[in-house]
Chain A
Amino acid sequence: MKKVKNKNVFDRFLNRSPVFKGIQILLIPLIFSGLFANGFALPVPNKVFQQAQILVSGTVTDVNGIALPSVTIQEKGTNNGVLTDFDGNFTIAVSSTESILEFNYVGMKSHSKIVGGNTSMNVQMEEDSQSLDEVVVVGYGTQQKRHLTGSIGSIDMEEISRPAGDFGQAMYGKVSGVKIQNSSGAPGASSRIQIRGITSLSGSSAPLIVIDGVPMPTIDLNNINSADIKSIEILKDAASAAIYGSRAANGVVLVTTKQGKAGEPSVTLNYTYSSQKVMNDIDMMSGPQYARASIDAAQAGWVDSGGDPNAPNTIEARGHYKYTWPEALENPETLWDTNWQDLTSRVAPMHKVDLSIAGGDEKSKYYLSAGVLDQEGMILTTDYKRYTMNLKADTKVGGWLKVGGMLNVAYDEQSVLEGRVMHTVREYPPIYPEYGIDGYLGGPTTIGIDGFENYYNILLRSNPGGHPYWHLNRYDDDRHGVTTLGNVFAEIDILPGLKYRSSINASYRRYDRKLHEKIDGGVASPSRAQVLSSMSRTLNYTMENLLIYDYTLGNHDISAVAGYEYNQREYYSLEGERRDYDNDLLPYLSAGSTVYNTDDSANEYALMSVFGRLNYNFDGKYLISATLRRDGSSRFGPDNKWGDFPSLSAGWIVSEEDFMQDSQTITSLKLRASYGLTGNDNFSDYAWISRMEMTPVAIGNNSSSSYYPSSIENPDLGWERTRQFNYGVDLGLMNNRFTLEVDYFTSESDGLLLNVPVPTTSGFGSIFRNIGALETNGLELALTSRNLVGLEDGLSWTTQATWSTNRSEITQLGPDNAPLMMNRTYMDIINAVGEVPFSFFAYEYDGVYMNQAEIDAHGVEYNFPVHPGDGRYVDQNGDGKINAEDRTVVGNPQSDFLWALNNTFQYKGFDFSFQLDGSVGGEIFNGSGRRSLFNHGGRNYFALLENRWRSEEDPGDGYHYKLSVDIDGMEKKPSDYWLVSATYTRLRDVTFGYTLTENFAERIGVSSARIYFNGVNLLHWQEAETISDPENTTGSNSDAAVSGVQFDAYPTATTYSLGLNVKF
């Protein structure tokens, strides 16, 4: 495809057509909306309506007497409306003295007034304190949004109506600089979240999750019902995150759960019914196409080995089965044309019900909820169920003590797909039926056609064990989990302004798995049955003591927090396996006759921390904040147990200055700058210790155990450190009709832990060390435009857009900057100085040799014979040979930029919103293509290979080389032939809802009710034809190395939902 040569992100923007596409998609609606809004925002000439009888004019100001432009004034119950001009003046003609005028303005409480006898009307509008004093959750406390000095994204979960079981789905496109990837469409799967790119090459890249103030590094957020979540805050910059110290380098996600309010109990019921279908199937060859491709592969191998092209198709004539083919392939109409992707998927329903009750009085508050999620998977046999309960309560005692607590319990059940199903679904040859003779699975021996026996794994990699149903039905992989999460706290008012808070928090996760591999796989010969049963428990508890101090004197505002925290985690797992079962009737260990394996594993982790923060603001204009955390961790070597993580940030609210007070355009302007140091300790326990591994050894007829050192001790092992500067501007124009947040950051991570390869002559392949550094720079924009506000009986339209880019580059690796290679078998992934982390390092593919003349003209020597129709590769060093020296960086998984555009409309009781988003740039290694779908492996091929080179007369598209049974050339060596583009655009979300009028709601006995339709992933555009979804990844969500690697992913869903939301 294309080689990534331009290192500069901005060069790349200009050089890529999809970029333009992306920009256009992003900009066009924005420009539109901007024009639209401006049209309304401009001073509107006073209009006199013909039917009007009374002219009313006046001025609208805020409480301080400052004129408000662009205030909407409307005669209630009519279409008659005007806007104030820049001086706050208006004139409106109304029909009678009975008319009511409604004044609406962003950030202000709406105001109504009867005209009466007045023809002149001066109105003062009050600030809507709710929006002004908007409070966001920060580390160990809360802060007014206007006083923030760091970069924090906030998501109000009330505004999200996507009914997904996975909370990550709710976060798409909401906060710039946060990349969410739907790593798999499997029910119960979690999204991958990455904040501001990569800060580590070997540790986890997952952010720290904090639930109601308690860090929960191992929690899967999906074990909390998204309906119980009130808001999610994302601490993006290091200064905001630094108070979480050694675990904060990947950013922090703060989750706040719902709590009760004083007043009448309020009962909420949510129900959604969804229907999911596969968003995108991969185009594979049909039966006849596959048959032809197989014959071509055999013939090409024969001809290239020097055979006579016209030799008869017999083993006698051609000497080897791989150069011949079963006769039946020549008449594909006698075979089948089965679409395995269709047969193994279904339209799958999902139900989600949540019920909650919240209430309380002045002293006590409570919130109680229960939820059920029942999701069937789109691929047969998969499903997921989750039951959650949540109780949160607090009460005040004696005026100085507040005690409370929370208990959240989740039980989940999941049927997981066996790992190879998706690849058999795409790769099993279409020439076989679902079932053959005797009811056995369709395959070479059961279709009643002779001549296939000698071709297994030679020409045709088709066998009963490769049949999709064999994998689907032979394995039952059931998982069960129970997660409890709870805390108890006490908060004591010691002195005015000084509070002490102490809490104990614990989570306990028990996870069981039973894997039953059955004897009966639907084929003639039985398989070996086995049952593997495992269970694990994780206990994680945190003790926290905080002193909180708030003090205001005149213009001086001080708030401070100091705390001490101790966290311990204990993990234990146990597994057993038995084999040799007589039948499939008892899928339990007890029924197996051979005890094959029993094993356990245990580890512990402890973290001790002290921390503090001081916020000071002067006159509500000058803001400064400093934090410090000191962490000690059991993960580190004795020489490096403790680390300090300071941060400092400052802000200036320019718009509060006198000289800005008169500005009509700029309503608010804040400049921010911050610096912080954070760490990453998220890798395995005991990594610094050299272990003595025990293994069985035989001597004669005896067996015993021998011991050998399996790793090298490293007492210096310490944190990975990330230093980040963040510069931000928050701008509000025309009374915050437009708001813009811009953040630029630059971060440097060093002391990166790397498994540094060392010469194996030392006895080890690698050593784990704090070596290496990388740099990340990024730019983030978030724009909100309230295009229409409160016009025409409440029509409003808001556009939100986010755009972000970040680029990481490795700046140091080890003492001598030698590049590190990983994953060598399939695609070389390189970490090299000056390159993006996890770049693809491979041969550069350069199309097909169309004929012998081209081979001769190229004049490059390969390690094996090359024939017309083979691929051509670039001799990077020009030495006339293609060998390992010619590998180069051919791509990387890093996006150029991410964007999202969200439009929300409201009219009377109706609401409508849609979100478009996408990612531009970056490559993905298509691992399933590598195995065979791009080249001969006897399996089915991508339909794309219909464009392959077949002969000099029929050379295809000049890009896809021929298929051949002899592939010991370059076909299976890593090259950019296997890379596909990661660029995509998606209509992520469409929601259309209707809220009953209050009257009607009352009449049916509810306080409010809304019904809605929601669609997720309704439309998608992507450059890559050979993967189902560029967002999918293979491997752990927290592993930075896998972001650009995809093997046989469970497909992503397009989901249609109908929902009902009722409050009593």
Chain B
Amino acid sequence: MKSMKSMKYLIIASFLFSMNGCSEDNLDLYPLTTLSEGTYYKTLPQIESAVDDVYRQMGRLYSAYGIPSLYGLLLSDDGGVVAQLPGTPVDQPIDRHEITADNSRVESAWDVAYNAIFVCNNIISQIETTEVEIEESHKKRMLAEAKLVRALAYFNLVRAFGSVPLVTQKISTEEAYDYLRESPDKVYEQIINDLTTAKNDLPESHSGGDVGRVTKYGAAAVLAKVHLTIKNKQAAKGELEFVINSGQFSLDANNDGSVNINDYLYLFDPETKNSKSSILEAQYKSGPNEANSDHQIAFSPFSDTFVHPLIDDESIGRGAGINTPTDDLALEFEEGDPRKGISVVPGFETPSGSFVEYPFTLKYFDPNWFNAGQNFEIIRYADILLMYAEVTGEKEYLNMVRERVGMPAFESAGYPSDLYPTLELAIEHERRVELAMEMHRYFDLVRTDRAVEVMQPRILGDVKTLFPIPQYAIDVNPGLTQNPGY
């Protein structure tokens, strides 16, 4: 058994040797199914893909739970809540102006806005410091796209929350504690700077696969609205004229040469994106694993017997029941206004044939219930015309909008002048019905200082014109102050 003896040491030696097979490199493991940031931004296509994320962010800003939806619509007299989602009520308190600082909807809308700002800030700093060679005009265009989206995020934040932290560069988490609320003036200054840069550096239009990207007119249109909001009518007028005079846009959305109700309906057809009436649009796409929109489900009745009149699929289930059109909005439409049918549907019929009174809107219709993708019009041409009527006091621009749907002109026979005797009230009324359920209403009421007067009769307590700063944001960073009344 002598050979066994030597075998013993051979075995030990070989086992010990096998230990050398494991080097410390074995501990350097990186994610297998995602990329790591440390190795990203090394090529132009990578940078472009990161820039494209600002479009996704734009879609999130204008989602059913974004600031415009909650503030522009739910807080107004147009969108309400009939039945509540289960769990802690978050939508009804907004509708009733009984919001508390811990409202999780408001908090997530805030988070989404700041996440969008981070994505924009990050890509701006990556482009500014990259060693990848990029053609100057291309670089400028990408920067402008990010700045436009950043401006949109701030524009919504400043209107809904008042003073807000103003972050314009990529910051560390430690630095974030030093960013406290800045006055609206400073925020607007930043917004105007960004939009002006965007307006200068963006192209007039796009073709092919780039259609849907933002243009200088999109920047100008937002700029016009910003000026209108800060009551600088003259500047607003200039921007609006820049858009109108470009000749690129018209009320003839379907581009068939005639302007009529079909052009209005065309805007809310899920198949038609970025039409001639579109100045700035949030981009979505229907189908699984696409950048879907959530408005249709969110705004549909929260009822288990819900049957969608246009979707032939009984398995669609219920909506989330926020932004249910109010009776008040339904009554705002004049007799025979063809826009009402798509804006407010009074209820639905169940399979067993009974009618349930539960209004909803068809403006966000998409036959693909589960994975909808209709684009959302942030600013469309009718809005431009109505704003122009507002800054110039010229009623023709108001009448252009009415004429398209065959409604009598302002101050003509058949116009309800008893209800809307002045041009201001006529514009307010027209904006309410033309842009119904499109998240403009409450911004308009606050901008024109009409919010309290219009809302008070509907509300038990005080009319709120600002959201609370989310309690959670204050809990994390106690340097943030709360808005009065919360």
Contact = CB atoms under 8 A, between A and B. Distances in A.
A758 interface: yes
Q: Which 9 A-B pairs have the closest CB atoms?
A: A763-B118, A700-B212, A463-B304, A698-B285, A762-B176, A706-B53, A690-B37, A528-B315, A457-B83
Given A608-B26, A863-B100, A761 B167 contact: yes
Interface string B190-222: 000000000000000000011111000000000
Contact of A698 (B24, B35, B290, B476): B290
Mostly, the A contact residues are: mixed
A825 B356 contact: no
Contact of B102 (A321, A445, A453, A884): A884
Contacts of A526: 314-315
Interface stretch (A61-69, A593-601, A729-737): A593-601
Interface in B299-314: 302-305, 307, 313-314
A445 B305 contact: yes
Contact of A634 (B15, B27, B274): B27
B100 A464 contact: no
B357 to A, nearest CB: 7
Interface in A809-849: 818-819, 821, 824-826
Given A543-B18, A600-B33, A883 B486 contact: yes
B283 interface: yes
Interface stretch (B66-74, B90-98, B227-235, B439-447): B90-98
A762 B86 contact: no
Interface string A853-867: 000000000011100
Contacts of B357: 321, 454
A696 B290 contact: yes
Which has the most chain B C-beta neighbours within 10 Å: A445, A528, A700, A701? A700
Given A456-B304, A824-B102, 19 more contacts: A453-B354, A457-B83, A461-B86, A494-B12, A543-B22, A545-B15, A603-B32, A686-B29, A686-B30, A691-B35, A691-B36, A695-B291, A700-B283, A703-B285, A760-B110, A760-B476, A761-B171, A863-B461, A931-B87
B283 A699 contact: yes
Mostly, the B contact residues are: loop
A527 B478 CA distance: 48
A524 B351 contact: yes
Given A543-B18, A594-B288, A686-B31, A709 B37 contact: yes
A455 to B, nearest CB: 9
B413 interface: no
A604 B28 CA distance: 10
Interface of B: 1, 4, 8, 11-12, 15-16, 18-19, 22, 24, 26-38, 40, 46, 49-50, 52-53, 55-56, 59, 82-84, 86-89, 92-93, 96, 98-102, 104, 110-111, 114-115, 117-119, 121-122, 165, 167, 170-173, 175-177, 179, 209-213, 273-274, 283-285, 288-291, 302-305, 307, 313-318, 321, 350-352, 354, 356-358, 370, 373, 460-461, 471-473, 475-478, 486
A706 B83 contact: no
A763 B117 contact: yes
B50 A706 contact: yes
11 contacts: A543-B22, A564-B19, A685-B29, A689-B30, A691-B36, A692-B40, A696-B56, A706-B55, A707-B40, A759-B179, A884-B101
Given A453-B356, A528-B315, A757-B476, A689 B31 contact: yes
Given A690-B37, A700-B274, A884-B471, A758 B176 contact: yes
A401 B8 contact: yes
Contacts of A705: 49, 52
Contacts of B177: 759
Contacts of A659: none
Contacts of B304: 456-457, 463-466
A568 B18 CA distance: 15
A759 B114 CA distance: 10
A706 B291 CA distance: 10
Contacts of B179: 759, 761
B70 to A, nearest CB: 15
A883 B100 contact: yes
Interface in A938-995: 967-968, 972-973
Interface in A752-766: 757-765
B114 A601 contact: no
B100 to A, nearest CB: 5
A283 to B, nearest CB: 22
A674 to B, nearest CB: 30
Interface string A435-457: 00000000001000000011011
A85 B207 CA distance: 108
Contacts of A763: 114-115, 117-119, 121-122, 170
Given A758-B176, A759-B176, A456 B122 contact: no
A689 B36 contact: yes
Interface of A: 321-322, 398, 400-401, 445, 453-454, 456-458, 461, 463-466, 490, 492, 494, 500, 502, 519, 524-529, 543, 545, 564, 566, 568, 594, 596-597, 600-606, 608, 632-634, 638, 641, 685-686, 689-709, 712-713, 757-765, 767, 818-819, 821, 824-826, 863-865, 883-884, 931-932, 937, 967-968, 972-973
Contact of A758 (B31, B461, B476): B476
Contacts of A708: 50, 53, 56, 119, 122
A159 to B, nearest CB: 39
Contact of B460 (A464, A865, A884): A865
A714 to B, nearest CB: 10
Given A761-B167, A826-B88, A634 B28 contact: yes
Contacts of B121: 763
B176 A697 contact: no
Contact of A608 (B24, B86, B351): B24
B104 to A, nearest CB: 6
Contacts of B96: 968
B315 A824 contact: no
A502 B100 CA distance: 64
Contacts of A767: 173
Given A691-B34, A698-B290, A972-B87, A492 B119 contact: no
B323 to A, nearest CB: 16
Contacts of A500: 12, 15
A456 B83 contact: yes
B159 to A, nearest CB: 18
A443 to B, nearest CB: 9
Contact of A545 (B16, B38, B92): B16
B11 A490 contact: yes
B303 A937 contact: no
